[in-house]
A and B are shown apart, each in its own frame.
Chain A
Amino acid sequence: MINLTIDNKPVQVEEGTTILKAARQAGINIPTLCYFELNGMKFENKPGGCRVCVVEVKGRKNLAPACATDCMEGMEVFTHSARVINARKTVVELILSDHPNDCLQCEKNGDCELQALAKRLGIKEIPFKGAQSTYRKDATLSVERDMDKCVMCRRCETMCNKFQSVGALSGVNRGFQAVVAPAFEQNLGDSSCVNCGQCVQVCPVGALTLVDNIGDVMKAIADPTKKVVVQTAPAVRVALGEEFGMQPGEIVTGKMAAALRRLGFDYVFDTDWSADLTIMEEGTELLGRVKSFLAGDKNVKLPLFTSCCPGWVTFYEKNFPDLLDYPSTAKSPQQMFGAVAKNYFAQKIGVKREDLVVVSIMPCLAKKSECARDEFKVNGDPDVNFSLTTRELAHMIKQCNLDLNDMPEEDFDSPLGQSTGAAVIFGATGGVMEAAVRTAYEIYCGKPLPKIDLEAVRGIYGDSVRTATVDFNGLAVKVAICYGLSNARKLMEEVRNGNPNGYHFIEVMACPGGCIGGAGQPYHHGHSDIIQKRMEATYREDAGKPIRKSHENPDIIAIYKEYYGEPCGHLSHEQLHTHYFDKSDKIEATK
């Protein structure tokens, strides 16, 4: 252990602890800007670049960055001496002097860490006037880039390269013109970017923001010739409340349904319903492949990868074009819902498909790009017209003079509204796997699963890749789950090398903790405990559901009886399954 004093307060810490963490341990919260950590989730950005966290260390010539300086025995640290306060303020004034400071019109207004820092340090004016660094604006279907606002914290770069191993963003240029951008001044959309949007989730300022589709949705609602259907993803209901001052982990399913109805949506449905449908299709596909494998088919592709996460789908299309036969062909719940709504439901209510507008509320930015994919359109009409994020829904509710706190508890509409606990847990890492096991086991074994909760695959902390073996009547089914595309890359490379661990089924989610940590969720500003609380809420909601297995959902049973026939049957293949494309040219271009 190491003994030191911080602001004259004795502190004892383990060797290798930074001054920043030691100070936090002592209840002293040194301000930071570039530093970012998802505690316990193996994500840390520590370039030591912003110099906001500088502190005075007795005997040291210059000030020390608290985030990047380890504690030493006998160290005397001062975090708020006149010298430190002056330096810290001057550094923030410098950063502000090269910032557009258009806070009132900025997407991040109120959520901006630079804004909060300026307020905290009591900055009243910027003494430095001079040139502003300026760059070309750029956008994908999910992410907007305005690098004039970039503060060079490099969080997006670390997220993109280390956590996701996507490598679309890196520091370019030098000196005053230094900025984070795709290589060779490419458009982000032409790069290796998979639109996971985690760069947006971690950006402290408004340099990286989402593409806002609120206006499109408002317009559709206002159009008397359109019927507007909305679906809400599992992870939204455990996070939306945060935007209205509720505690993280508060479940607002009923209030959300009520608010959506008041916003003017004609039908308020649930992506959870189509998550149950996904399990029917994907679970059946898994069993089909396992049975073929056991019957001696050497060409069968195992393991089966989940395909719900569009960031992940784009990632393997760009990086593993040789393995496109491995992922499940089942569409994601968003797209399954869209297909069912535009085919089955439109017909049922007697509306032409182009007069039905399907809106999804997602915790995700990649969903915006997913719903625009050509294969999810019929004659140019997308199955899902617009995808909004949790944050956009919160904005929309506020714009429409509503407060989620005041909403009554209401139910989803029928028939695409009823769901099971299995669908709810899609929102958390490991959830799709657990839901699939609940159904696949019972279909394969023909008897109830002895223990519904598959705890081995739950949790956001701990091992990067979690594995479990489930006994399917003597058949040991090996499963693996992970979040973060760098972990997925390792699993894909294992599969490329002959799948030595013999996995049958692998679940991948791009975002930290799964969809609950998605890029469209309320900003967590690095507090992994917020993601943890959303996860706990997810499993609480599951446990409270009367039905917890997808194949027991009466509406799902009914739609197979009435419309699709059987899972993985002819019609479901046509409407509920997809195929993948080699997009490796986007990677090759930058090699």
Chain B
Amino acid sequence: MAGQINNVGLIEVPMGITLREIIYEIGGGIKGGRQFKAVQTGGPSGGCLTAKHLDTAIDYDSLVAAGSMMGSGGMVVMDETSCMPAIAKFYLEFTCEESCGKCSPCRIGNKRLCEMLEKITDGRGTMEDLQELRNLAAVIKDTALCGLGQTSPNPVLSTLDNFWDEYVEHVVDKKCRAGVCKKLMRYEIDREKCIGCGKCAKGCPAEAITRTDYTAPGHKLASMVIDSEKCLKCGACIGGCKFGAISVK
């Protein structure tokens, strides 16, 4: 049991125990009192299950019926700070590394899945990409030669099924609600709150912050502004601002 959970480690449980019992009783719940979002069971080829599956009994058949599998017996618990398209990409990167290269669906298909997920998490995706992603994932599952390729699209398919809205947000609204996909993040300075001290500009490694010619009422210095093109989304500015003027959108 791993992930954003209070008690991580190796556990032995009887068949039939529910996900809820494992996560909240043995695992001690989600770290920092945050909200449970998903649990990936079965290793990289397994699927991501959601809150609605929490009362699923853990056995071979029930996990498959829910869209995941027993697999290696591993469980990775995720909270609202995890971005599901990014999680799918993470697992696909692993599969690409592991593919032997013998059959074309796994050799080329997983690479293309990974590239499409990258496009989506970079904010360059389209709704057609989502359709193509689902079709390709299904074809790889249907045609790959061995167990690796036949299960490698599971993280994609299960997140598409269970977190469709999150994919749509990445593609249509160009937003990552978990704040994980850096290319979708925007650091902004509230010009009314900014006192113009310039500390953020000094700390910015990309020299992305400059002074405007607007001085907010009650302040003596003109406010600062972030050039999104130059911004590396490193977060150095936020940490340095004592006035809470900088936020991530």
Contacts and interface: CB of A to CB of B under 8 A. Distances in A.
Interface of A: 47-51, 54, 62-63, 65, 83, 86-87, 90-91, 94-95, 97-98, 127-131, 151-152, 171, 173-178
A95 B99 contact: no
Interface stretch (B44-52, B142-150, B218-226): B142-150
Interface string B107-137: 1110110011000000000000000100110
Given A62-B144, A173-B101, 9 more contacts: A47-B102, A49-B102, A51-B145, A63-B143, A87-B139, A91-B105, A91-B139, A151-B104, A175-B101
Nearest to B109: A94
Contacts of A127: 132
Contact of B135 (A51, A90, A130): A90
Contacts of A90: 135-136, 139, 143
B144 A51 contact: yes
Contacts of B97: 175
B142 A63 contact: yes
Given A51-B143, A90-B139, A128 B112 contact: yes
B133 to A, nearest CB: 11
A369 to B, nearest CB: 31
A51 B99 contact: no
Contact of B103 (A51, A86, A87, A129): A51
B143 A178 contact: no
Contacts of A94: 104-105, 108-109, 112, 136
B135 A175 contact: no
B139 A178 contact: no
A176 B139 contact: no
Nearest to B150: A62
B236 interface: no
Given A97-B112, A176-B96, A178-B100, A152 B141 contact: no
Q: Give chain B's interface secondary structure class.
A: helix
A156 to B, nearest CB: 15
B98 interface: yes
B48 to A, nearest CB: 21
A174 B103 contact: no
Interface residues of B, number: 27
A128 B113 CA distance: 9
Given A51-B143, A130-B115, A178 B135 contact: no
A49 B105 CA distance: 9
Interface string B180-191: 000000000000
Contacts of B141: 62
Given A91-B105, A94-B105, A130 B111 contact: yes
Residue among B97, B116, B139 with most chain A CB within 10 A: B139
A530 to B, nearest CB: 28
Greatest chain A CB density within 10 A among B99, B100, B105, B141 is at B105
B194 to A, nearest CB: 42
Given A83-B142, A127-B132, A174 B99 contact: yes
Interface of B: 96-105, 107-109, 111-112, 115-116, 132, 135-136, 139, 141-145, 150
Contact of A48 (B103, B108, B109, B111): B103
13 contacts: A47-B102, A62-B144, A62-B150, A63-B142, A90-B135, A91-B105, A94-B104, A95-B108, A97-B108, A127-B132, A171-B102, A174-B101, A175-B100
Interface of chain A: mostly helix, strand, loop or mixed: loop
A50 B108 CA distance: 11
A447 to B, nearest CB: 61
Contacts of A131: 111, 115
A178 B112 contact: no
B103 A49 contact: yes
Contact of A86 (B109, B116, B139): B139
A140 B107 CA distance: 29
A67 to B, nearest CB: 12
A62 B103 CA distance: 15
A34 to B, nearest CB: 9
A177 B141 CA distance: 21
B103 A50 contact: yes
Nearest to A179: B101
B215 to A, nearest CB: 48
The 8 nearest A-B residue pairs measured at CB = A178-B101, A175-B99, A130-B115, A90-B139, A94-B108, A51-B143, A128-B112, A176-B111
Given A49-B104, A51-B103, A175-B101, A87 B143 contact: yes
B96 A175 contact: yes
B100 A174 contact: yes
B226 to A, nearest CB: 32
Contact of A177 (B101, B103, B142): B101
Given A127-B132, A176-B96, A152 B102 contact: yes
A98 B108 contact: yes
Contacts of A178: 100-102, 107
A91 B143 contact: yes
Contact of B104 (A86, A91, A174): A91
Contacts of B142: 54, 62-63, 83, 87
